[in-house]
Amino acid sequence: MARSKDKKYRPRIIKIPVTGLHRELALHAHAALVTLRYSPSVDAFDMLAGIINMIQVTIENDERFTHEAKLITGGAATLNQISKKIEAHLALHEHELASIGVAVNTVDSILSKLDVSRMHLAQLSVRKLQAISRSEQSSSLH
């Protein structure tokens, strides 16, 4: 297909469907949820929060996932509320686990419909935001 000389070439990101990655991310999310249920740990919390944050950024402004975004946001809000309990290794209430479970199941149900490139860009954004947050926290301690 010939390109008009007036148009500037803009490369586009290739859309790659999530295949084996789906199973791996879903397994990590479900394993972290089980760990939070029976033996709350900061590592499991961080793993699950990272996955949920990445998916939230990936589906942000995507009209196909409006309902799912609300369910995942509910689980993310619960994670924010229980962070101090996790640090203290306290048991979580069933209603807290239920909200997080809905988010994990929702993530699992949409993973196969997401694009790997967008997920990768979302992961980079989340990591950058986490680094900024950590640096702000450490500077406020001094």
33-90 residue pLDDT tens: 999 999 999 999 999 999 999 999 999 999 999 999 999 999 999 999 999 999 999 9
3-state secondary structure of 92: coil
Does residue 65 fall inside a structural domain?
yes
Q: What's the chain's average pLDDT?
A: 88
- Dist. CA 96–CA 37, nearest whole Å: 10
Band (141; pLDDT cuts 50, 70, 90): low
Contacts 24+ apart (CB under 8 A), 62-65: 64/113, 65/110, 65/113
Q: How far is CA 53 from CA 13, 57, 88, in A?
A: 22, 6, 22
Query: Domain for residue 109, yes or no?
Result: yes
Whether residue 113 is contained in a domain is answered as: yes
Domain containing residue 28: 20-127
33: in domain: yes
Residue 133 lies in a domain: no
Tell me if 47 is assigned to some domain: yes
CATH at 100: 1.20.120
Number of domains forming the structure of the chain:
1
pLDDT at 142: 62
